[in-house]
Amino acid sequence: MTNHALNLEKKIFQNEVVERLKENQKGDSKPWVIELDPTTACNLACHGCISANLLNQGGFKRERLKQLAKEFYEMGVKAVVLIGGGEPMAHPEFGAIVDYFYDHDIHVGVTSNGTLIEKYLDQLANKTKWVRISVDAGSEDMFQKYRPHISGKSQFNKVIDGMKKISKIKKTKLGYSFLVLEKKDPNQRPLSEGGNYVETNATDIFKAAKLAKEIGCDYFEVKPSFDPSHFLNDTSNLTNIIKSQLDLSKPLEDEQFTIISPYTLKRTLDGENKQIKKYSRCLTAEMRTVLSPSGAYVCPYHRGNTNLKIGDPTMESLKEIWYGKKRQEIMQKLDPNKHCKFHCIRHSTNIELEKIDEIFKSSDGVNINSIEDFDRFI
């Protein structure tokens, strides 16, 4: 996986993206990327799930979801991330909409728990640009602790077997995601009494990275966890464990396999949980949005936040939502410095977009040094 494809700031300087930014700046605003939650249904009960309060509250009706896919094409959407909320593959039309997007040159990325891979193996392997499976473990025991199934039976081997099947036939990029989690261990003495009062999946990082490479993944990603308000959880007490596990994992890297640890991991290891933003608007939200059964929102960090809900995609078309009065009002009042003190991964993108906007105003974009297109997932 090339490094520039992981650089969110660099993505906005691609030729096609710059042209869309010019159109938006002139008033012909259109979304470039949409995060779509087909359903809120989920068959796992993961510890620390950031979407716990949104789960199992229904999904898009089958015909409405297929109609939304057509609306994306008509509105010029270039990429879709099928995510949740719930487990996107739990929706019965998952395969049909992936087929539609593929046939209409809309790039697809999928974030999944991996339990339903076999049902949609062809679409995942051959009709997406990337598939990221959230595993958070490198062993069955650890998986069962942090990602238990509603049946009580571990799904670890099923998930890993499914990922192996993708890797054998894939045209897509396959990722193994590891979210660092911890919880109180009731069997241990508290820290004040000399005990280790937490248990964590971080001890499985190397084991998981090794497994990811063995089964044919393109990358392994270690990420910090967030609280329900999207602030970074403080994992500074796990610093030694995480760093030593990453050090063990680093030699696994080669031209076919990358280990990713985003800047947010360092932030949380340092005990930092707030991000200062000196701009008062979110230009990224003019390029991407989130549609879920509960509503349309300015961004995934505000999924479920009724104060920043821009419409109802179960009843309104994408065009009605995007150009509607409600969205315009929300975009006017949205102030990242006030509403987004959490760590937003597109913070650096917004800083660059502010600079680009100033160039557009002064020279109509002639001084933008655009680069070759490589990845639509800005």
- Tell me: the pLDDT tens digits for 232-281? 777 778 888 999 999 999 999 999 999 998 766 776 666 666 788 999 99
- The alpha helices in the chain, defined as continuous H runs, are 8-11, 15-25, 62-74, 94-103, 121-126, 140-146, 156-169, 205-214, 239-249, 263-269, 318-322, 325-333, 336-339, 347-363
pLDDT-derived band at 227, boundaries 50, 70, 90: confident
d(CA 131, CA 109): 6
Residue 34's region, left for phi above 0, alpha for psi from -120 to 50, else beta, is beta
Mean pLDDT of 45-66: 86
Average pLDDT over residues 69-97: 96
pLDDT (tens digit per residue) in 172-225 = 999 999 999 998 766 766 555 655 657 899 999 999 999 999 999 999 999 988
Band of residue 6 on the pLDDT scale cut at 50, 70, 90 = low
pLDDT of residue 162: 98
pLDDT at 361 over 90: no
Q: Which helix (H) or strand (E) holds 259?
A: strand 258-260
| Other Cβ atoms closer than 10 A to 61 | 12
Eight-class DSSP state of 231:
P
Residue 215's pLDDT is 98
| pLDDT score at 225 | 85
Kindly report the CATH number that applies to the domain delimited by 31-345. Answer: 3.20.20.70
> What is the pLDDT confidence band of residue 57, given thresholds at 50, 70 and 90?
confident
pLDDT in the model for residue 1: 37
| CB 182 within 8 Å of CB 200 | yes
| Half-sphere exposure in the Cβ direction for 256 (13 Å, CA) | 7
Using CA atoms, how far apart are residues 204 and 214, in angstroms rounded to an integer? 15
Lowest mean pLDDT among 3-12, 97-106, 131-140, 307-316: 3-12
Question: DSSP readout, 114-129?
Answer: STTGGGGHHHHHHS-S
Contacts of residue 377, defined as CB under 8 A and 6 or more positions apart, other chains included, come to 11, 33, 79, 81, 107, 109, 129, 130
Residue 124: φ, ψ to 5°? -65, -45
